Amino acid sequence: MTGPEPPGKPPEPLQGARAAAYRLLARRDRSEIELRQRLALKFPPAAVAAVLADLVRDGYVDDERLARRLSEIWAAQRNFGPMRIRHELKRRGLAPLADAAPDPEAVQAAAVRAARRCLSARADVADPRTVRRLAGYLERRGFSGATIRAIVRLTRQGELWSDP
């Protein structure tokens, strides 16, 4: 007799893995490697591989799309520079996609936003400690030396607070 399974019987591993994957993806986008690691904790490797193949084929899991989206969010909202974005993508298992060249204008805009966040409008830009603090902050955010020098130059010229 085929019908609904009795409530006490555990689901088939493939169905359970698929349901778990959909629950994980409902919360946020995840990379293929992240899903594989999470599903492998509870399900056999064959079921995990089959579910991931289906999700990739159907477009629910797309590492390239996820890397692009995360890069845009981190640059726009968290003011991360290219080096920090690469590091974060590699940490999430998206290493092959981390080497895409960022848009120079977007990098400059993110650096200006980060500098504005670090300094107040009344900061003493003639003070070397202020400049060192700003440079260190930008370096920790993942900006290159050339970008940091350009921002320091804008700051010293008093143009950091003018709208770009």
Which is nearest to 152 in space by CA: 76, 105, 123? Answer: 123
In angstroms, rounded to a whole number, what is the distance separating the alpha carbons of residues 89 and 22? 22
Which is nearest to 111 in space by CA: 73, 149, 138, 84? Answer: 138
Q: How many residues does the chain have?
A: 164
In angstroms, rounded to a whole number, what is the distance separating the alpha carbons of residues 7 and 12? 13
- 71-120 confidence digits (pLDDT tens): 888 888 888 898 998 888 888 888 776 666 677 788 888 899 899 888 87
Q: Which two tokens stand for residue 12?
A: 């088939």
Domain boundaries of the chain, sorted by first residue: 13-61, 65-157
Fold of 13-61: Arc Repressor Mutant, subunit A (1.10.10)
Torsion angle, alpha carbons of 116, 132, 137, 79, to 10? 40
- What pLDDT, on a 0 to 100 scale, did the predictor assign at position 5? 54
pTM beyond cutoff 0.75? no
